[in-house]
Structure 1
Amino acid sequence: MKFKSISKKILALACVVPMFAMANEGGPTLDKFDVNTHDLESLQRGAQTFANYCLSCHSAQAMRFNGLADIGIPDQQVKDNMLFAADKVTDPMKVALNPKEAKGFFGATPPDLSVIARARGADWLYTYLRSFYRDPSRPTGWNNVVFDKVGMPHVLWELQGEQHAVFKTEKNAEGQSVQVLEKLELVKAGTLTSLSGGKANTADYDQKVGDLVNFLVWMGEPHQNLREQLGYAVLLFLGILLLPFVYLLKRDYWKEIH
Protein backbone atom coordinates (compact mmCIF):
# COMPACT_ATOMS: atom_id res chain seq x y z
CA MET A 1 0.00 0.00 0.00
CA LYS A 2 2.81 2.39 0.85
CA PHE A 3 4.50 1.68 -2.48
CA LYS A 4 1.27 2.45 -4.36
CA SER A 5 0.91 5.74 -2.47
CA ILE A 6 4.43 6.78 -3.39
CA SER A 7 3.86 5.77 -7.01
CA LYS A 8 0.73 7.92 -7.20
CA LYS A 9 2.63 10.93 -5.83
CA ILE A 10 5.43 10.45 -8.37
CA LEU A 11 2.88 10.16 -11.17
CA ALA A 12 1.09 13.32 -10.02
CA LEU A 13 4.39 15.20 -9.88
CA ALA A 14 5.30 13.99 -13.35
CA CYS A 15 2.03 15.42 -14.65
CA VAL A 16 2.50 18.77 -12.92
CA VAL A 17 6.10 19.43 -14.04
CA PRO A 18 5.25 19.65 -17.78
CA MET A 19 2.45 22.09 -16.94
CA PHE A 20 4.96 24.43 -15.28
CA ALA A 21 7.29 24.01 -18.24
CA MET A 22 4.50 24.90 -20.66
CA ALA A 23 3.52 27.90 -18.55
CA ASN A 24 7.03 29.30 -18.96
CA GLU A 25 7.08 28.85 -22.74
CA GLY A 26 6.12 31.58 -25.15
CA GLY A 27 6.92 34.49 -22.83
CA PRO A 28 9.14 37.42 -23.77
CA THR A 29 12.87 36.84 -23.95
CA LEU A 30 14.59 38.28 -20.88
CA ASP A 31 17.89 40.13 -21.06
CA LYS A 32 20.63 38.70 -18.86
CA PHE A 33 21.72 40.84 -15.94
CA ASP A 34 24.83 40.08 -13.90
CA VAL A 35 24.08 40.89 -10.27
CA ASN A 36 26.93 42.27 -8.17
CA THR A 37 25.81 43.14 -4.65
CA HIS A 38 29.44 43.65 -3.62
CA ASP A 39 29.62 46.85 -5.69
CA LEU A 40 28.77 49.41 -3.01
CA GLU A 41 28.85 52.37 -5.39
CA SER A 42 26.30 50.66 -7.63
CA LEU A 43 24.09 49.87 -4.62
CA GLN A 44 24.28 53.48 -3.44
CA ARG A 45 23.28 54.78 -6.86
CA GLY A 46 20.48 52.24 -6.97
CA ALA A 47 19.24 53.33 -3.54
CA GLN A 48 19.17 56.94 -4.75
CA THR A 49 17.13 55.97 -7.82
CA PHE A 50 14.79 53.89 -5.66
CA ALA A 51 14.20 56.80 -3.29
CA ASN A 52 13.68 59.33 -6.09
CA TYR A 53 11.48 57.31 -8.46
CA CYS A 54 10.02 54.25 -6.69
CA LEU A 55 9.42 55.15 -3.06
CA SER A 56 6.72 57.69 -3.86
CA CYS A 57 4.32 54.84 -4.76
CA HIS A 58 6.00 51.59 -3.67
CA SER A 59 6.90 50.73 -0.09
CA ALA A 60 9.67 48.43 1.13
CA GLN A 61 8.41 47.60 4.60
CA ALA A 62 11.02 44.89 5.25
CA MET A 63 13.84 47.43 4.95
CA ARG A 64 14.48 50.23 7.43
CA PHE A 65 16.13 53.45 6.34
CA ASN A 66 19.06 52.97 8.73
CA GLY A 67 19.72 49.59 7.09
CA LEU A 68 21.23 51.55 4.20
CA ALA A 69 24.27 52.09 6.41
CA ASP A 70 25.28 48.55 5.38
CA ILE A 71 25.93 49.82 1.84
CA GLY A 72 27.75 52.94 2.98
CA ILE A 73 24.92 55.49 3.25
CA PRO A 74 25.14 57.16 6.70
CA ASP A 75 22.05 58.11 8.70
CA GLN A 76 22.60 61.83 8.23
CA GLN A 77 22.63 61.45 4.46
CA VAL A 78 19.42 59.44 4.68
CA LYS A 79 17.82 62.19 6.79
CA ASP A 80 18.89 64.91 4.36
CA ASN A 81 17.82 63.19 1.14
CA MET A 82 15.27 60.42 1.74
CA LEU A 83 13.06 61.24 4.71
CA PHE A 84 9.96 63.34 5.10
CA ALA A 85 9.85 65.68 8.09
CA ALA A 86 7.96 63.24 10.34
CA ASP A 87 9.97 60.15 9.41
CA LYS A 88 12.82 58.64 11.41
CA VAL A 89 15.79 56.66 10.18
CA THR A 90 14.57 53.69 12.21
CA ASP A 91 11.27 53.64 10.29
CA PRO A 92 10.59 51.10 7.54
CA MET A 93 10.53 52.38 3.98
CA LYS A 94 6.89 53.30 3.56
CA VAL A 95 5.02 55.65 1.25
CA ALA A 96 2.86 58.63 2.04
CA LEU A 97 0.42 57.72 -0.73
CA ASN A 98 -2.86 56.34 0.61
CA PRO A 99 -3.39 52.73 -0.62
CA LYS A 100 -7.03 53.46 -1.56
CA GLU A 101 -6.02 56.51 -3.57
CA ALA A 102 -3.25 54.54 -5.25
CA LYS A 103 -5.72 51.83 -6.26
CA GLY A 104 -7.97 54.52 -7.72
CA PHE A 105 -5.09 56.01 -9.71
CA PHE A 106 -3.56 52.81 -11.06
CA GLY A 107 -6.37 50.26 -10.80
CA ALA A 108 -4.43 48.27 -8.20
CA THR A 109 -2.41 49.04 -5.09
CA PRO A 110 1.30 49.32 -5.97
CA PRO A 111 3.02 46.26 -4.46
CA ASP A 112 5.64 46.36 -1.74
CA LEU A 113 9.08 45.94 -3.32
CA SER A 114 10.99 44.44 -0.38
CA VAL A 115 11.36 41.04 -2.03
CA ILE A 116 10.34 41.82 -5.60
CA ALA A 117 13.75 40.68 -6.89
CA ARG A 118 13.35 37.31 -5.19
CA ALA A 119 9.83 36.96 -6.57
CA ARG A 120 10.51 38.08 -10.15
CA GLY A 121 14.24 37.65 -10.62
CA ALA A 122 16.92 40.15 -11.64
CA ASP A 123 16.64 39.37 -15.38
CA TRP A 124 12.90 40.05 -15.32
CA LEU A 125 13.29 43.38 -13.52
CA TYR A 126 16.14 44.50 -15.76
CA THR A 127 14.16 43.72 -18.90
CA TYR A 128 10.89 45.13 -17.55
CA LEU A 129 12.35 48.52 -16.63
CA ARG A 130 13.77 48.88 -20.16
CA SER A 131 10.71 47.64 -22.08
CA PHE A 132 8.08 50.36 -21.70
CA TYR A 133 6.59 51.77 -24.88
CA ARG A 134 3.96 54.35 -25.80
CA ASP A 135 0.44 52.90 -26.04
CA PRO A 136 -2.42 55.41 -26.40
CA SER A 137 -4.96 52.68 -25.62
CA ARG A 138 -3.72 52.38 -22.03
CA PRO A 139 -4.96 54.73 -19.26
CA THR A 140 -1.41 55.81 -18.41
CA GLY A 141 -0.33 56.03 -22.06
CA TRP A 142 2.27 53.30 -21.50
CA ASN A 143 2.49 49.55 -21.96
CA ASN A 144 5.25 47.01 -21.40
CA VAL A 145 6.57 44.08 -23.39
CA VAL A 146 7.26 41.97 -20.29
CA PHE A 147 4.05 42.91 -18.45
CA ASP A 148 1.29 43.41 -21.00
CA LYS A 149 -1.42 45.95 -20.02
CA VAL A 150 0.59 47.00 -16.99
CA GLY A 151 -1.09 49.57 -14.75
CA MET A 152 2.16 51.24 -13.76
CA PRO A 153 3.21 54.33 -15.74
CA HIS A 154 6.77 54.60 -17.01
CA VAL A 155 8.25 56.65 -14.17
CA LEU A 156 11.72 56.65 -15.75
CA TRP A 157 10.57 57.90 -19.15
CA GLU A 158 12.35 61.24 -18.85
CA LEU A 159 15.60 59.32 -18.42
CA GLN A 160 14.97 56.75 -21.15
CA GLY A 161 12.89 58.78 -23.57
CA GLU A 162 10.04 57.30 -25.58
CA GLN A 163 9.97 53.92 -27.28
CA HIS A 164 7.42 52.84 -29.87
CA ALA A 165 6.51 49.24 -30.54
CA VAL A 166 6.91 47.82 -34.06
CA PHE A 167 4.57 44.90 -34.73
CA LYS A 168 4.48 42.34 -37.52
CA THR A 169 1.77 39.92 -38.66
CA GLU A 170 2.31 36.20 -38.15
CA LYS A 171 0.22 33.04 -38.27
CA ASN A 172 -0.46 31.34 -34.94
CA ALA A 173 -0.87 27.59 -34.37
CA GLU A 174 -4.52 27.81 -35.48
CA GLY A 175 -3.57 29.56 -38.70
CA GLN A 176 -4.98 32.91 -37.61
CA SER A 177 -3.18 36.18 -38.31
CA VAL A 178 -1.94 37.84 -35.12
CA GLN A 179 0.12 40.91 -34.34
CA VAL A 180 3.50 40.03 -32.83
CA LEU A 181 5.97 42.50 -31.39
CA GLU A 182 9.02 42.70 -33.63
CA LYS A 183 11.09 45.30 -31.79
CA LEU A 184 11.09 48.48 -29.75
CA GLU A 185 12.39 51.67 -31.31
CA LEU A 186 13.63 54.69 -29.39
CA VAL A 187 11.94 57.61 -31.14
CA LYS A 188 12.56 60.34 -28.60
CA ALA A 189 15.79 60.58 -26.62
CA GLY A 190 15.81 61.00 -22.86
CA THR A 191 18.32 62.62 -20.55
CA LEU A 192 20.28 59.34 -20.37
CA THR A 193 19.84 58.24 -24.00
CA SER A 194 20.65 59.70 -27.38
CA LEU A 195 19.79 59.26 -31.04
CA SER A 196 22.39 59.66 -33.75
CA GLY A 197 21.91 58.63 -37.36
CA GLY A 198 18.87 56.60 -36.45
CA LYS A 199 20.86 54.59 -33.91
CA ALA A 200 20.04 54.66 -30.22
CA ASN A 201 22.61 54.84 -27.45
CA THR A 202 21.07 53.61 -24.20
CA ALA A 203 24.20 52.64 -22.26
CA ASP A 204 23.77 55.26 -19.53
CA TYR A 205 20.12 54.39 -19.00
CA ASP A 206 20.91 50.68 -18.93
CA GLN A 207 23.50 51.32 -16.22
CA LYS A 208 20.97 53.36 -14.24
CA VAL A 209 18.50 50.49 -14.39
CA GLY A 210 21.25 48.00 -13.56
CA ASP A 211 22.13 49.92 -10.40
CA LEU A 212 18.47 49.94 -9.38
CA VAL A 213 18.12 46.20 -9.99
CA ASN A 214 21.32 45.59 -8.02
CA PHE A 215 19.82 47.50 -5.10
CA LEU A 216 16.51 45.61 -5.32
CA VAL A 217 18.38 42.29 -5.28
CA TRP A 218 20.42 43.40 -2.27
CA MET A 219 17.31 44.69 -0.47
CA GLY A 220 15.60 41.32 -0.89
CA GLU A 221 18.42 39.63 1.03
CA PRO A 222 20.58 42.34 2.67
CA HIS A 223 22.62 39.94 4.81
CA GLN A 224 23.66 37.67 1.96
CA ASN A 225 27.11 39.24 1.62
CA LEU A 226 27.73 38.93 5.36
CA ARG A 227 26.72 35.26 5.29
CA GLU A 228 29.11 34.63 2.42
CA GLN A 229 31.96 36.29 4.31
CA LEU A 230 31.16 34.30 7.44
CA GLY A 231 31.03 31.12 5.38
CA TYR A 232 34.51 31.69 3.94
CA ALA A 233 35.83 32.57 7.41
CA VAL A 234 34.37 29.39 8.90
CA LEU A 235 35.83 27.23 6.13
CA LEU A 236 39.24 28.85 6.61
CA PHE A 237 39.04 28.34 10.37
CA LEU A 238 38.06 24.69 10.01
CA GLY A 239 40.84 24.17 7.48
CA ILE A 240 43.48 25.60 9.83
CA LEU A 241 42.02 23.72 12.79
CA LEU A 242 41.81 20.34 11.07
CA LEU A 243 45.06 20.44 9.11
CA PRO A 244 47.32 19.34 12.03
CA PHE A 245 44.94 16.48 12.92
CA VAL A 246 44.83 15.30 9.32
CA TYR A 247 48.63 15.37 9.15
CA LEU A 248 48.99 13.41 12.40
CA LEU A 249 46.40 10.87 11.23
CA LYS A 250 48.27 10.44 7.95
CA ARG A 251 51.61 9.95 9.72
CA ASP A 252 50.11 7.41 12.12
CA TYR A 253 48.45 5.51 9.27
CA TRP A 254 51.62 5.24 7.18
CA LYS A 255 54.19 4.81 9.93
CA GLU A 256 54.36 0.99 9.70
CA ILE A 257 54.70 1.10 5.88
CA HIS A 258 57.62 3.50 6.00
Structure 2
Amino acid sequence: MKKLMCIVALLLPGIVFAAGSNVPLDKAEYDLTDKASLQRGAQLFMNYCLGCHSMKYQRYQRTFADLGIPDELGEENLQFTGEKVTDYITGSMPEESAATWFGAAPPDLTLVARVRGADWLYTYLRSFYVDESRPFGVNNKVFPDVGMPHVLQPLQGTPRETNERVMIDGEMTERYVGIRTDGNGKLSPEEYDQAVLDLVNFLEYTGEPARLESEKIGKWVLVFIIVLFIFVYLLKKDYWREVH
Protein backbone atom coordinates (compact mmCIF):
# COMPACT_ATOMS: atom_id res chain seq x y z
CA MET A 1 0.00 0.00 0.00
CA LYS A 2 2.82 2.41 0.85
CA LYS A 3 4.47 1.73 -2.51
CA LEU A 4 1.17 2.36 -4.29
CA MET A 5 0.67 5.66 -2.45
CA CYS A 6 4.20 6.78 -3.38
CA ILE A 7 3.58 6.00 -7.05
CA VAL A 8 0.28 7.91 -7.01
CA ALA A 9 1.96 10.89 -5.33
CA LEU A 10 4.62 10.99 -8.03
CA LEU A 11 2.15 10.68 -10.91
CA LEU A 12 -0.60 12.94 -9.57
CA PRO A 13 0.95 16.32 -10.52
CA GLY A 14 1.40 15.21 -14.12
CA ILE A 15 -2.14 13.84 -14.24
CA VAL A 16 -3.61 17.06 -12.86
CA PHE A 17 -1.65 19.29 -15.27
CA ALA A 18 -2.54 17.10 -18.25
CA ALA A 19 -6.23 17.04 -17.36
CA GLY A 20 -6.84 20.67 -18.30
CA SER A 21 -6.64 20.23 -22.06
CA ASN A 22 -6.37 17.61 -24.77
CA VAL A 23 -4.43 19.85 -27.17
CA PRO A 24 -1.37 18.01 -28.57
CA LEU A 25 1.86 19.50 -27.28
CA ASP A 26 4.51 20.78 -29.69
CA LYS A 27 8.09 19.63 -29.23
CA ALA A 28 10.35 22.26 -27.65
CA GLU A 29 13.79 21.78 -29.22
CA TYR A 30 15.64 23.70 -26.53
CA ASP A 31 19.43 23.62 -26.13
CA LEU A 32 21.00 24.35 -22.74
CA THR A 33 24.42 24.74 -24.38
CA ASP A 34 23.19 27.68 -26.49
CA LYS A 35 24.29 30.65 -24.37
CA ALA A 36 22.88 33.19 -26.83
CA SER A 37 19.43 31.58 -26.59
CA LEU A 38 19.64 31.49 -22.79
CA GLN A 39 20.62 35.16 -22.68
CA ARG A 40 17.69 36.12 -24.92
CA GLY A 41 15.39 34.02 -22.75
CA ALA A 42 16.64 35.74 -19.60
CA GLN A 43 16.02 39.12 -21.21
CA LEU A 44 12.46 38.12 -22.12
CA PHE A 45 11.77 36.86 -18.62
CA MET A 46 13.10 39.98 -16.91
CA ASN A 47 11.17 42.28 -19.25
CA TYR A 48 7.84 40.47 -19.58
CA CYS A 49 7.48 38.00 -16.68
CA LEU A 50 9.27 39.43 -13.65
CA GLY A 51 6.65 42.11 -13.11
CA CYS A 52 4.31 39.44 -11.73
CA HIS A 53 6.33 36.25 -11.28
CA SER A 54 9.49 35.65 -9.29
CA MET A 55 12.35 33.16 -9.17
CA LYS A 56 12.99 33.13 -5.46
CA TYR A 57 15.30 30.08 -5.63
CA GLN A 58 17.62 31.58 -8.25
CA ARG A 59 20.17 34.34 -7.69
CA TYR A 60 21.03 37.04 -10.22
CA GLN A 61 24.76 36.44 -9.78
CA ARG A 62 24.51 32.68 -10.41
CA THR A 63 22.37 33.33 -13.47
CA PHE A 64 24.75 35.90 -14.92
CA ALA A 65 27.77 33.64 -14.33
CA ASP A 66 26.17 30.57 -15.93
CA LEU A 67 24.91 32.56 -18.93
CA GLY A 68 28.22 34.34 -19.51
CA ILE A 69 26.90 37.80 -18.62
CA PRO A 70 29.23 40.20 -16.73
CA ASP A 71 27.68 41.38 -13.44
CA GLU A 72 27.85 45.04 -14.46
CA LEU A 73 26.07 44.36 -17.78
CA GLY A 74 23.47 42.21 -16.07
CA GLU A 75 22.78 44.83 -13.40
CA GLU A 76 22.35 47.49 -16.04
CA ASN A 77 20.10 45.57 -18.43
CA LEU A 78 18.40 42.76 -16.48
CA GLN A 79 17.77 44.13 -12.97
CA PHE A 80 14.82 46.47 -12.61
CA THR A 81 13.71 46.09 -8.99
CA GLY A 82 16.65 47.73 -7.21
CA GLU A 83 18.05 44.46 -5.87
CA LYS A 84 21.71 43.57 -5.48
CA VAL A 85 23.42 41.18 -7.84
CA THR A 86 23.74 38.70 -4.96
CA ASP A 87 19.98 38.74 -4.24
CA TYR A 88 17.40 36.22 -5.33
CA ILE A 89 15.26 37.09 -8.36
CA THR A 90 12.00 38.37 -6.91
CA GLY A 91 9.06 40.00 -8.64
CA SER A 92 8.13 43.62 -8.12
CA MET A 93 4.43 42.98 -7.44
CA PRO A 94 3.37 42.55 -3.77
CA GLU A 95 1.67 39.21 -3.20
CA GLU A 96 -1.31 40.86 -1.48
CA SER A 97 -1.95 43.12 -4.48
CA ALA A 98 -1.45 40.22 -6.91
CA ALA A 99 -4.00 38.10 -5.06
CA THR A 100 -6.50 40.98 -5.24
CA TRP A 101 -5.97 41.63 -8.95
CA PHE A 102 -5.64 38.07 -10.21
CA GLY A 103 -7.57 36.13 -7.58
CA ALA A 104 -4.36 34.37 -6.52
CA ALA A 105 -0.71 35.34 -6.34
CA PRO A 106 1.17 34.44 -9.56
CA PRO A 107 3.30 31.34 -8.95
CA ASP A 108 7.06 31.35 -8.61
CA LEU A 109 8.62 30.12 -11.87
CA THR A 110 11.99 28.82 -10.70
CA LEU A 111 10.94 25.18 -11.09
CA VAL A 112 8.03 25.55 -13.51
CA ALA A 113 9.85 23.71 -16.32
CA ARG A 114 10.44 20.71 -14.07
CA VAL A 115 6.79 20.67 -13.02
CA ARG A 116 5.10 21.41 -16.33
CA GLY A 117 7.68 20.27 -18.84
CA ALA A 118 9.30 22.16 -21.72
CA ASP A 119 6.78 20.98 -24.33
CA TRP A 120 3.86 22.18 -22.20
CA LEU A 121 5.41 25.61 -21.67
CA TYR A 122 6.32 25.99 -25.33
CA THR A 123 2.81 25.12 -26.50
CA TYR A 124 1.13 27.13 -23.74
CA LEU A 125 2.95 30.37 -24.59
CA ARG A 126 1.90 29.97 -28.24
CA SER A 127 -1.74 29.09 -27.51
CA PHE A 128 -3.26 32.35 -26.24
CA TYR A 129 -6.21 33.67 -28.23
CA VAL A 130 -8.75 36.50 -27.97
CA ASP A 131 -11.73 35.68 -25.75
CA GLU A 132 -13.76 38.72 -24.73
CA SER A 133 -15.61 36.72 -22.06
CA ARG A 134 -12.44 36.39 -19.97
CA PRO A 135 -11.32 39.09 -17.47
CA PHE A 136 -8.14 39.88 -19.44
CA GLY A 137 -9.71 39.36 -22.85
CA VAL A 138 -7.74 36.21 -23.66
CA ASN A 139 -7.96 32.48 -23.12
CA ASN A 140 -5.59 29.59 -23.74
CA LYS A 141 -6.07 26.29 -25.56
CA VAL A 142 -3.61 24.43 -23.32
CA PHE A 143 -4.79 26.03 -20.06
CA PRO A 144 -8.53 26.78 -20.45
CA ASP A 145 -9.85 29.75 -18.45
CA VAL A 146 -6.33 30.96 -17.77
CA GLY A 147 -6.15 33.73 -15.17
CA MET A 148 -3.34 35.82 -16.62
CA PRO A 149 -3.03 38.31 -19.50
CA HIS A 150 -1.11 37.49 -22.66
CA VAL A 151 2.00 39.47 -21.73
CA LEU A 152 3.83 38.55 -24.94
CA GLN A 153 1.05 39.90 -27.18
CA PRO A 154 3.08 42.99 -28.19
CA LEU A 155 5.61 40.58 -29.69
CA GLN A 156 3.15 38.14 -31.24
CA GLY A 157 0.31 40.41 -32.28
CA THR A 158 -3.37 39.77 -31.58
CA PRO A 159 -3.91 35.99 -31.71
CA ARG A 160 -7.25 34.53 -32.72
CA GLU A 161 -8.59 31.00 -32.62
CA THR A 162 -8.96 29.63 -36.16
CA ASN A 163 -11.50 26.98 -37.13
CA GLU A 164 -12.57 25.39 -40.39
CA ARG A 165 -15.82 23.79 -41.45
CA VAL A 166 -15.47 20.10 -42.23
CA MET A 167 -17.82 17.22 -42.92
CA ILE A 168 -17.87 14.67 -40.08
CA ASP A 169 -20.35 11.75 -40.18
CA GLY A 170 -22.40 13.53 -42.77
CA GLU A 171 -22.67 16.78 -40.84
CA MET A 172 -20.82 20.08 -41.22
CA THR A 173 -19.01 21.05 -38.05
CA GLU A 174 -16.34 23.48 -36.84
CA ARG A 175 -12.87 22.04 -36.24
CA TYR A 176 -10.03 23.87 -34.49
CA VAL A 177 -6.97 24.25 -36.72
CA GLY A 178 -4.72 26.63 -34.79
CA ILE A 179 -3.94 30.17 -33.65
CA ARG A 180 -3.31 32.98 -36.12
CA THR A 181 -2.31 36.56 -35.42
CA ASP A 182 -3.22 39.83 -37.09
CA GLY A 183 0.42 40.48 -38.03
CA ASN A 184 0.69 43.60 -35.87
CA GLY A 185 3.25 42.14 -33.45
CA LYS A 186 6.89 43.18 -33.32
CA LEU A 187 7.95 39.70 -34.42
CA SER A 188 7.02 37.46 -37.32
CA PRO A 189 5.41 34.08 -36.44
CA GLU A 190 8.78 32.36 -36.88
CA GLU A 191 10.58 34.95 -34.76
CA TYR A 192 7.92 34.69 -32.06
CA ASP A 193 8.25 30.90 -31.94
CA GLN A 194 12.01 31.31 -31.52
CA ALA A 195 11.52 33.90 -28.77
CA VAL A 196 9.21 31.51 -26.90
CA LEU A 197 11.76 28.72 -27.33
CA ASP A 198 14.45 31.01 -25.89
CA LEU A 199 12.24 31.72 -22.88
CA VAL A 200 11.52 28.02 -22.39
CA ASN A 201 15.24 27.32 -22.68
CA PHE A 202 15.91 29.80 -19.87
CA LEU A 203 13.16 28.27 -17.70
CA GLU A 204 14.66 24.82 -18.30
CA TYR A 205 18.01 26.16 -17.11
CA THR A 206 16.59 27.71 -13.91
CA GLY A 207 14.79 24.47 -13.11
CA GLU A 208 18.16 22.71 -12.81
CA PRO A 209 21.12 25.10 -13.17
CA ALA A 210 23.71 22.36 -12.63
CA ARG A 211 22.21 19.99 -15.18
CA LEU A 212 24.97 20.23 -17.79
CA GLU A 213 27.66 19.83 -15.15
CA SER A 214 25.82 16.88 -13.62
CA GLU A 215 25.48 15.17 -16.99
CA LYS A 216 29.19 15.70 -17.66
CA ILE A 217 30.13 14.22 -14.29
CA GLY A 218 27.64 11.39 -14.83
CA LYS A 219 29.42 10.29 -18.02
CA TRP A 220 32.75 10.07 -16.19
CA VAL A 221 31.08 8.12 -13.39
CA LEU A 222 29.79 5.59 -15.92
CA VAL A 223 33.27 5.27 -17.42
CA PHE A 224 34.70 4.72 -13.94
CA ILE A 225 32.11 2.04 -13.19
CA ILE A 226 32.88 0.20 -16.45
CA VAL A 227 36.63 0.26 -15.80
CA LEU A 228 36.08 -0.81 -12.18
CA PHE A 229 33.87 -3.68 -13.34
CA ILE A 230 36.64 -4.95 -15.61
CA PHE A 231 39.17 -4.97 -12.80
CA VAL A 232 36.70 -6.55 -10.37
CA TYR A 233 35.86 -9.25 -12.91
CA LEU A 234 39.55 -10.04 -13.50
CA LEU A 235 40.15 -10.11 -9.74
CA LYS A 236 37.23 -12.47 -9.30
CA LYS A 237 38.57 -14.83 -11.95
CA ASP A 238 42.02 -14.81 -10.37
CA TYR A 239 40.61 -15.28 -6.84
CA TRP A 240 38.45 -18.25 -7.80
CA ARG A 241 40.93 -19.84 -10.21
CA GLU A 242 42.21 -22.34 -7.67
CA VAL A 243 38.69 -23.23 -6.54
CA HIS A 244 37.49 -24.13 -10.03
Provide structure 2 residue ranges, at least 5 long, that are not aligned to the other structure. Answer: 167-171
- Deviation of 1:208 after TM superposition, in Å, equals 0.6
User: Could you tell me which amino acid in structure 2 is paired with residue 75 of structure 1?
Assistant: D
Instruction: Deviation per CA, 1:66-98: give whole Å up to 9, x if none.
Output: 111112122112211122474111111001211
Provide structure 1 residue ranges, at least 5 long, that are not aligned to the other structure. Answer: 171-176, 194-201
- 1:119 aligns to what? 115
Q: How does 1:175-214 map to 2 (within 5 A)?
A: 181-193=176-188, 202-214=189-201
Q: Secondary structure, in 3 states, of the residue corresponding to 1:62?
A: strand
> Separation in 2 of the partners of 1:32 and 1:245?
43
> Separation in 2 of the partners of 1:154 and 1:114?
20
> Separation in 1 of the partners of 2:70 and 2:21?
45
Q: Secondary structure, in 3 states, of the residue corresponding to 1:189?
A: coil
Kept in 1, the 8 Å contact 2:156–2:185? The answer is yes
- Deviation of 1:102 after TM superposition, in Å, equals 1.6
2:156 paired residue among 149, 160, 166: 160
- 1:138 aligns to what? 134
- 1:99 aligns to what? 95
- 2:210 aligns to what? 223
- Deviation of 1:232 after TM superposition, in Å, equals 1.8
- 1:48 aligns to what? 43
**Aligned pair in 2 of structure 1 residues 108, 169: CA closer, same or farther (>3 Å)?**
farther
**Aligned pair in 2 of structure 1 residues 212, 252: CA closer, same or farther (>3 Å)?**
same
- Deviation of 1:120 after TM superposition, in Å, equals 0.8
Runs of 4+ with deviation above 4 angstroms? 23-26, 167-170, 177-180, 237-254
- 1:199 aligns to what? none
Percentage identity across paired residues of the two chains: 44
> Separation in 2 of the partners of 1:188 and 1:204?
12
- Deviation of 1:147 after TM superposition, in Å, equals 1.2
Q: Secondary structure, in 3 states, of the residue corresponding to 2:158?
A: strand
Kept in 1, the 8 Å contact 2:50–2:92? The answer is no
User: Could you tell me which amino acid in structure 1 is paired with residue 148 of structure 2?
Assistant: M
Q: Secondary structure, in 3 states, of the residue corresponding to 1:165?
A: strand
Q: How does 1:50-89 map to 2 (within 5 A)?
A: 50-68=45-63, 69-84=65-80, 86-89=82-85
Higher relative contact order, structure no. (Cα contacts within 8 Å, ≥ 6 residues apart): 2
Q: Secondary structure, in 3 states, of the residue corresponding to 1:164?
A: strand
- 2:219 aligns to what? 232
TM-score (norm 2): 0.79
- 1:32 aligns to what? 27
User: Could you tell me which amino acid in structure 1 is paired with residue 44 of structure 2?
Assistant: T
> Separation in 2 of the partners of 1:179 and 1:112?
37
Kept in 1, the 8 Å contact 2:21–2:142? The answer is no
- Deviation of 1:181 after TM superposition, in Å, equals 3.6
> Separation in 2 of the partners of 1:122 and 1:60?
17
Q: Secondary structure, in 3 states, of the residue corresponding to 2:151?
A: coil
User: Could you tell me which amino acid in structure 2 is paired with residue 88 of structure 1?
Assistant: K
